[in-house]
């Protein structure tokens, strides 16, 4: 059984689908490598790792079946960044058989509700590249200041807006009193937050407004995501 290896740094560029041989012809032995945020769902009857690929907005998810053993130190239902290629697709696209090659653990969490006033939480800038929803998850990709130390990075609902059509949420980014001279450079990050509770009948909201501090585009202070 093959082992699924963790990669220490996040690779964002897909590996070329095919290359050219010495005679200039395309070598189709290379497989297109995909990079997606997925949920690790455990192992099948053959002890092979399985994953779930949530599609954009509310499209049906796709189950991914691999031939590797379980990724080390990854809990069931944890979100990871998976590098893989497709071996076979079901006719109804409900599942894919894949070759999983590597993974990266990412920031993942469930959305929280504030206890203290929103203004008391740190909202250190990020550099946002993209933000999107897949099923019950809101995902962010961008850069944060690298310190080599622990930090808090999560989404927080303003409890005073829980019963509104538009719920106000905030990206909390706290470097935990890291000295300024300990900040070296900006590094890539992925964040995936489960907002499924907002889709339940306990919340009447239709839209989640994510307020954030974006150093790339300071004039854009929020992004809206349709929930229902």
CATH code of the domain covering residue 17 = 2.40.50.500
Mean of the per-residue pLDDT values of the chain: 87
Cα separation, 87 vs 99, whole angstroms:
7
Cα separation, 81 vs 99, whole angstroms:
14
Q: What pLDDT is recorded for position 4?
A: 53
Q: What pLDDT is recorded for position 30?
A: 56
Among candidate residues 63, 80, 105, the one where a domain is terminated? 105
- 98 plus 145 within the same structural domain: no
- 37 plus 114 within the same structural domain: no
Cα separation, 113 vs 99, whole angstroms:
39
Q: What pLDDT is recorded for position 184?
A: 77
Span 218-225, average pLDDT: 97
Cα 211 versus chain centre, distance = 18
Cα separation, 187 vs 14, whole angstroms:
19
Span 181-205, average pLDDT: 90
Residue range 62-86, pLDDT digits in tens = 999 998 888 888 999 999 999 999 9
Evaluate if residue 118 carries a pLDDT over 80.
yes
- 66 plus 77 within the same structural domain: yes
- 14 plus 32 within the same structural domain: yes
Among candidate residues 68, 89, 105, the one where a domain is terminated? 105
Q: What pLDDT is recorded for position 71?
A: 84
Q: If pLDDT is split at 50, 70 and 90, which confidence band does 10 have?
A: very low
- 38 plus 98 within the same structural domain: yes
DSSP at 168: E
User: Terminus-to-terminus CA distance in the chain, angstroms?
Assistant: 42
Cα separation, 109 vs 94, whole angstroms:
26
Q: What pLDDT is recorded for position 64?
A: 97
**DSSP code string of 65-90:** E-SB-PPTT--TT-EEEEEEEEEEE-
Handedness of CA 75, 79, 84, 87 (dihedral sign): positive
- 222 plus 111 within the same structural domain: yes
Could you tell me the maximum CA-CA distance found in the chain, to the nearest angstrom? 67
Evaluate if residue 126 carries a pLDDT over 90.
yes
Evaluate if residue 100 carries a pLDDT over 90.
yes
Domain count, the chain: 2
Domain that holds residue 134: 107-226
SS3 for 119? helix
Span 165-180, average pLDDT: 91
């Amino acid at each position: 059984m093959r082992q699924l290896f963790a990669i220490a740094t996040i690779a964002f560029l897909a590996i070329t689908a095919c290359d050219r041989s010495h005679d200039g012809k395309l070598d189709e032995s290379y497989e297109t490598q995909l990079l997606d945020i997925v949920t690790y769902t455990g192992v099948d009857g053959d002890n092979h790792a399985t994953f779930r690929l949530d599609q954009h907005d509310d499209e049906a998810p796709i189950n991914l079946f691999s031939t590797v053993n379980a990724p080390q130190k990854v809990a069931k239902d944890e979100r990871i960044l998976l590098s893989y290629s497709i071996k076979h697709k079901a006719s109804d696209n409900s599942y894919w058989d894949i070759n999983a090659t590597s993974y990266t653990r990412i920031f993942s969490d469930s959305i929280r509700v504030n206890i203290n006033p929103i203004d008391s939480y740190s909202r250190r800038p990020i550099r946002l590249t993209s933000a999107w929803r897949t099923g019950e998850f809101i995902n962010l990709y961008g850069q944060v200041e690298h310190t080599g130390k622990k930090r808090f990075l999560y989404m927080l609902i303003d409890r005073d807006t829980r019963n509104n059509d538009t719920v106000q949420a905030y990206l909390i980014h706290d470097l935990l009193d890291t000295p300024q001279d300990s900040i070296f450079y900006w590094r890539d990050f992925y964040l995936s937050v489960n907002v499924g509770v907002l889709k339940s009948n306990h919340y009447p909201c239709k839209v989640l407004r994510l307020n954030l501090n974006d150093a790339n585009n300071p004039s854009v202070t929020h992004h809206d995501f349709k929930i229902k």
